[in-house]
């Protein structure tokens, strides 16, 4: 295998943050974009969970998005994303746990029994108010430069915001909204959101980034 294979789905926030980590590290991968309703056999034979993202390095398969970010950044971290307080890991854990659960209930209430979407929204918003306070007048969670916590969490804040942008924009969290807007309009976000055709067996490799 000449390059690690990164299985991805463009709009998935987990896949977004994996691509962000790989792009920051500058490690070349063979990107394979898939369609979730028609997963290729090669992908299903690689990913133990059958979910994106999944990275096949040739020596190991990494099936969790945060682990893919850490794998890439531990090899090369030119932007210093790993240089952050322990609080950053706690924020990521809250994002991936209670916040993501509430976000799913808010975005997809019909998938769950007994879920009230506004209640789920308000539960998720508690974490966003915490982030807004943490940001304050800073550009990023821990100061003037992005860290792992910023880039691991932002794709999920984006997903939350786009459930109901009017409601999101009406909330008293200007620091959070500005943080998200900088992310969405950044060159890095544009680069990782390039639209590739779904991978098919026999396709020429797609180098990413």
As a whole number of angstroms, the distance between CA 9 and CA 65 comes to 12
Dihedral pair phi/psi, residue 207, rounded to 5°: -80, 130
Which two three-digit tokens encode residue 176? 């959070």
Spacing of C-alpha 31 from chain mean position: 16
**For the whole prediction, is pTM greater than 0.75?**
yes
Alpha-carbon distance 182 to 173, whole Å? Answer: 14
What's residue 40's pLDDT? Answer: 95
Q: Smallest Cα–Cα separation from 146: which of 189, 109, 110?
A: 189
Backbone angle region of 84, left / alpha / beta, with phi > 0 → left and psi within -120 to 50 → alpha:
beta
* Two tokens, residue 99: 């916040």
DSSP sequence for 23-78: HHHT--EEEEE--GGG--HHHHTT-SSS-S-EEE-SS-EE--HHHHHHHHHHH--T
- pLDDT for position 4: 97
Q: Which residues, 6 or more positions from 22, have their beta carbon under 8 angstroms from its beta carbon?
A: 6, 29, 68, 69, 72, 208, 209
Every domain of the chain and the residues it spans:
5-79+190-208, 86-189
Q: Are the C-beta atoms of residues 48 and 21 closer than 8 Å to each other?
A: no
CATH architecture of the domain 5-79+190-208 equals 3-Layer(aba) Sandwich (3.40)
* CA nearest neighbour of 30 among 7, 9, 50: 7
Task: Tell me which H or E stretch contains 86.
Answer: helix 86-94
Q: Would you give the DSSP letter of residue 109? A: G
Q: What is the pLDDT of residue 2?
A: 85
| 86-189 to CATH, choices 1.10.40.50, 3.30.390.50, 1.20.1050.10, 2.60.40.10 | 1.20.1050.10
Q: Note whether 151 and 81 are within 8 A (CB).
A: yes
Q: What is the pLDDT along the chain (209 residues), one digit of tens a residue?
A: 589 999 999 999 999 999 999 999 999 999 999 999 999 999 999 999 999 999 999 999 999 999 999 999 999 999 999 999 999 999 999 999 999 999 999 999 989 988 999 999 999 999 999 999 999 999 999 999 999 999 999 999 999 999 999 999 999 999 999 999 999 999 999 999 999 999 999 999 999 99
């Amino acid at each position: 295998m000449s390059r690690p294979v990164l299985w991805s789905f463009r709009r998935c926030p987990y896949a977004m943050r994996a691509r962000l980590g790989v792009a920051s590290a500058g490690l070349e991968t063979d990107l394979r974009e898939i369609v979730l309703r028609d997963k290729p056999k090669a992908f299903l034979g690689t990913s133990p969970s059958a979910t994106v993202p999944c990275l096949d390095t040739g020596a190991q398969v990494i099936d969790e998005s945060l682990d893919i970010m850490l794998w890439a950044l531990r090899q090369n971290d030119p932007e210093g994303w790993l240089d952050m307080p322990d609080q950053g890991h706690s924020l990521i854990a809250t994002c991936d746990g209670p916040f993501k659960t509430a976000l799913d209930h808010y975005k997809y209430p019909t998938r769950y029994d007994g879920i009230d979407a506004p209640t789920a929204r308000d539960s998720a918003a508690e974490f966003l108010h915490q982030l807004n306070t943490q940001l304050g007048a800073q550009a990023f969670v821990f100061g003037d430069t992005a860290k792992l916590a910023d880039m691991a969490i932002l794709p999920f804040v984006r997903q939350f915001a786009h459930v109901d942008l009017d409601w999101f924009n009406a909330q008293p969290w200007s620091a959070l909204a500005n943080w998200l807007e900088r992310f969405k309009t950044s060159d890095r976000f544009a680069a990782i959101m390039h639209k590739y055709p779904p991978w098919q067996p026999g396709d020429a490799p797609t180098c990413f980034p």
